[in-house]
Amino acid sequence: MILVVVEYANGKVSKSTYEMVGCARQLGREGPVTALVLGSGVAAIASEVALVFDQVLVADHVDLAQYDAEVWAAAVAQIAREGEANTVLVGGSRSGREYSPRVAVKLDAPLLEDAISVVDANGTLTAERYTYLARVTEKVEADAPVVVATIKQGAFTAALPGNQVAEQFDVDLNLPQRRVQITGKATEKSSRIALTEADIVVSGGRGVGSAEGFATLVEGLADQLGAAVGATRAIVDDGWRPYQEQVGQTGKTVQPKAYIAIGISGAVQHLSGMSKSKCIVAINKDADAPIFKIADYGIVGDANRIVPAMIAELQK
């Protein structure tokens, strides 16, 4: 079987889950495309994904209320073994990329990391992925009875739910003791669409001048467009914005239909998180800023004057 670990957040199935199903279907490997739902109180999630998978395995347990790399890896490896999975697909989220190497080691399997394409040729999987801070596309091959792959968000076409409802099965897991104690969490709740799921991302850097400038310009334009909000490492370090909004090497990777960069010069570490966006728009007062080299559209000028004018234009 092809095992897909279902990703969800705040009671909603994540887009990445449907993209993994899309990947699994086009792979055409032997066996049912199987969902594994891990969590506590996940009946609704299981029912939702039953419309897109061939079968759904559910581990609904209080011990799974909070994510832990060791617990998740043990659960996934156990189900992959028992179900004789030939392929294990995990989301290319931060947690997915954290526990999947453990699954690969447990199964003595190769790991295809953050794949943007996966093709099966006579039982051998060939994958493409970005390397060198997303500047190079590398092709690698995994030839093994079972292969673990993390799937880059936004790289595959999402499968659409149908009318067939897949059968659900409860599974028993032998879970290890948690060894990492999470003693506190600082999560900023946002009413906006998630950064990695948005069609439009409006992002800001030091060039917006201040935290107040960010609110007026970046959030102002984002709200006008129904877009998600992103930020550079520099202004997250300065405390202007929360870490969840950070785009780049040490933050999130996005590839929306449109990425609007305001006051962002375009350090290679930032570009690695957004350079695959379909359309890139840059607004910066420095005509030599590297961001313009990868921009489709842009304005060289003062963001404090241009962005309010854009908002006014959009409101017309």
DSSP string, 228-270: EEEE-HHHHHTTSS-GGGBBSTTSB----SEEEEES----HHH
Q: Is residue 15 within a helix (H) or strand (E), and if so which, with residue range?
A: helix 15-27
Of residues 170 and 199, the one with the C-beta less far from other proteins: 199
- Residues 195-214 touching other proteins, rule: CB under 8 A, are 199-200
Q: For residue 26, with 0-12 CB atoms within 10 Å meaning exposed, 13-18 middle and 19 or more buried, which class applies?
A: middle
Length reported for the chain: 316
| Whole-angstrom distance, CA of residue 178 vs CA of residue 41 | 20
User: How near is the Cβ of 22 to other proteins at its closest, in Å?
Assistant: 21
Q: Is 138 in the site for other proteins (CB under 8 A)?
A: yes
Asked if 58 contacts 170 with a C-beta cutoff of 8 angstroms, the reply is: yes
Q: Is 130 in the site for other proteins (CB under 8 A)?
A: yes
- Residues 265-284 touching other proteins, rule: CB under 8 A, are 268-269, 272, 275-276, 278-283
Of residues 169 and 297, the one with the C-beta less far from other proteins: 297
Binding residue for other proteins, selected from 110, 154, 207, 263, defined by CB under 8 A: 110
Specify the stretch interacting with other proteins by CB under 8 A; choose among 17-25, 33-41, 212-220, 250-258: 250-258
Of residues 122 and 305, the one with the C-beta less far from other proteins: 305
Binding residue for other proteins, selected from 28, 163, 172, 184, defined by CB under 8 A: 184
DSSP state of 202: E
Copy the structure tokens of residue 123.
């039982």
Of residues 62 and 180, the one with the C-beta less far from other proteins: 180
Binding residue for other proteins, selected from 31, 32, 101, 220, defined by CB under 8 A: 101
| Whole-angstrom distance, CA of residue 27 vs CA of residue 119 | 6
Of residues 108 and 172, the one with the C-beta less far from other proteins: 108
Binding residue for other proteins, selected from 139, 167, 212, 238, defined by CB under 8 A: 139
Q: Is 56 in the site for other proteins (CB under 8 A)?
A: no
Asked if 227 contacts 204 with a C-beta cutoff of 8 angstroms, the reply is: no
Q: Is 93 in the site for other proteins (CB under 8 A)?
A: yes
User: How near is the Cβ of 65 to other proteins at its closest, in Å?
Assistant: 15
| Whole-angstrom distance, CA of residue 187 vs CA of residue 45 | 22
Binding residue for other proteins, selected from 122, 181, 191, 288, defined by CB under 8 A: 181
Count of residues of this chain found to bind other proteins when the rule CB under 8 A is applied: 94
Q: Is 55 in the site for other proteins (CB under 8 A)?
A: no
CA dihedral sign of residues 244, 246, 248, 250 = negative
Q: Is 292 in the site for other proteins (CB under 8 A)?
A: yes
Q: Is 295 in the site for other proteins (CB under 8 A)?
A: yes
Asked if 90 contacts 99 with a C-beta cutoff of 8 angstroms, the reply is: yes
Asked if 237 contacts 211 with a C-beta cutoff of 8 angstroms, the reply is: no
Binding residue for other proteins, selected from 30, 84, 141, 167, defined by CB under 8 A: 141
Strand-pairing partners, residue 12, are 9
